[in-house]
Structure 1
Amino acid sequence: MKGWPLVLLIALLGIALPLGFQHLTADRAAHQAQMLQRQALLDLLPAERYDNLPMDHPLAIPAQPLASSQLQGGYLATLSGQPSAVLLHVQASGYAGPIELLIAIDRDGRLLGLKTLEQTETPSLGGHIGEPGNPWMAAFKGYSSNDPPRFDQIAGATVTSRAVINAVHDALRYFDEHRPTLLEPGPHA
């Protein structure tokens, strides 16, 4: 009878310590996973173009239809406290379903990069837009709404190609039309 309190204390510690440790490490692991995800999103934005955490600076723009796509939101990148780029999250209708894109535009209206966030296109055709370093997607870099259209379509993936090209045009037009508001210094959300 005298040993029961000690056994009970050991049992409680045996349960509480692992649960407490799991709780502490789960928060840290979740934070690290979130940071890795954010960095993966930002790999299309050259590091010398920003010194903030753009994903922590969402733009106060509502989801809205554009000419050929749907604007889902956006983020502001700053350098030394000054707006340097805007990242627009756009959704287009592809051959097999929605195509989610993140489009980085510098303050002068030039495309810095384009990244597929989500897509369900045919793997051997339009699905290539989701591959890192895709040369067709990389060809958009430096393009602005003032430039003449110059993009070929992906062979065998006409619908996918048109969806991406139109979404890029939509994002650049939206940026041009809303540039002063998007690039205002100060709080955005």
Structure 2
Amino acid sequence: MNRASSVVILLVLAGLGIGATYLVQQRSAPRIATEQRAIDSRNLLDLLPADSYDNQPLDQPLRLDNVVLSNSTLLGGYLATKAGQPAGVLLRSQTVGYAGSIELLVAIGANGKLLGVKTLRQSETQGLGARIADWPNAWLGGFTGKSRNEPADNGWALKQDQGQFDQIAGATITSRAVINAIHDALRYFDEHRQQLIGDNPHE
């Protein structure tokens, strides 16, 4: 076999390999997308009570794209509905902690009250601020039921700053950043309620 024939055979084999890889990827893509969707759903929707919505919130994204607030940035959000009526929103919020950015998911009911908060990403100090990522998280759970004005604006701070909230032990900066981001999200919801969920009055 001469050199030219060998090159042709190698090119044919390479082409077949590339083609086979492409076919496998094409056939696997829907299954991978479905599995990723299920992971995203578990990760993002577990803040919402299971019986509080009947739509697929991830299919109803809110028109939020890097909305800069006083202490944080909204990266996006989703609308939950039940029987066609708004049930609440999920807002993805990013703030800056002690060691870097912290991405939170803030769930707010249609009545403006906080349904829950969880950490999606963080880079805080292990054993201190990184505890913000524990799930379930007792410290974050302490904000459930709060709203923009409950407590009043000056209450949305650490006790050592004359506010109403304890801090994560050893993580003052992380705690302040998260409190401010949660209050930002509640304030944004309150001020943009109609844009987010329509004109239903607070319950």
TM-score range, shorter chain: 0.7 to 0.9
In structure 1, what residue type is equivalent to 2:145?
Answer: G
In the other structure, the counterpart of 2:3 is none
Residue matched to 2:190 = 176
Q: Which residue of 2 aligns with 1:154?
A: 168
* Of 71, 75, 79, the match for 2:74: 71
Taking the aligned partners of 1:49 and 1:178, their CA distance within structure 2 comes to: 22
- Cα 1:29/1:157, change in 2 over 3 Å: same
Residue 90 (structure 2) aligns with = 87
Q: CA deviation at 1:30?
A: 2.9
Query: Which structure 2 segments of 5+ residues have no match?
Result: 1-12, 156-163
Separation in 1 of the partners of 2:20 and 2:146? 56
Mapped to 1, the partners of 2:106 and 2:46 lie a distance apart of: 11
Q: Tell me, in whole angstroms, the C-alpha distance in 2 between the residues paired with 1:139 and 1:80.
A: 30
TM, length-normalised to structure 2: 0.78
Gaps of 5+ in 1: 1-10
Q: CA–CA distance in 1 between the matches of 2:150 and 2:21? A: 60
Return structure 1 stretches of 4+ with deviation > 6 angstroms.
Answer: 14-19
Deviation at 1:17, TM superposition (A): 7.9
Q: Percent identity?
A: 53
Aligned residues: 173
After TM superposition, list the pairs within 5 Å mapping 1:25-104 onto structure 2: 25-104=28-107
Distance, in Å, in 1 between the alignment partners of 2:140 and 2:23 is 46
One-letter amino acid of the structure 1 residue matched with residue 179 of structure 2: I
Aligned match of 1:8: none
Partner of residue 143, structure 2: 140
In 2 relative to 1, CA 18–174 (structure 1 residues): closer, same or farther, beyond 3 Å?
closer
Taking structure 1 as the reference length, the TM-score comes to: 0.84
